[in-house]
Amino acid sequence: MSLKRGFFFWPYDQFPYLIGGEGHLREDGMAIIPSFGNGTFRPLYSFFDVKKGRAVHDELAQIVHDRDTAIKLISEAAMARASALMGANRNYNR
């Protein structure tokens, strides 16, 4: 059986709804990924230039980090506004 080395991405249940790793593509279209316990996955995207695949993986990780940071900042700002609103009306009992 011939294996082709590459970097592969397959569906995942969390944003960005893809996960990936370096491995080998089998003739049946399944990718073997050692970093996932030699698990096999059917890739949606295949990069046979491993360096390019790693770069895409790193950019996706940065996108996730940027999204998480933005969500955290928005949540903190919303909580501050809600706290200020309720603090201003703390003794309101009518």
Say which residue the tokens 């950019």 belong to: 59
Tokens describing residue 9: 């991405």
Whether residue 94 is predicted with pLDDT greater than 60 in this model: the reply is no
Reported as a pLDDT band with limits 50, 70 and 90, residue 92 is low
Query: What does the pLDDT look like over 15-48, one tens digit per residue?
Result: 999 999 999 999 999 999 999 999 999 999 999 9
- What's the predicted TM-score (pTM) here? 0.79
Other CB atoms within 10 A of residue 90 CB? 7
- Report helix, strand or coil for 93: coil
- Report helix, strand or coil for 22: strand
CA distances from 13 to 4, 34, 48, 52, 93 (A): 27, 20, 24, 24, 46
**Alpha carbons 59 and 33: distance in angstroms, whole number:** 20
In this prediction, residue 2 carries a pLDDT of 72
Bridge-based pairing of strands 18-25 and 4-11 is antiparallel
Query: What does the pLDDT look like over 35-86, one tens digit per residue?
Result: 999 999 999 999 999 999 999 999 999 999 999 999 999 999 999 999 898 8
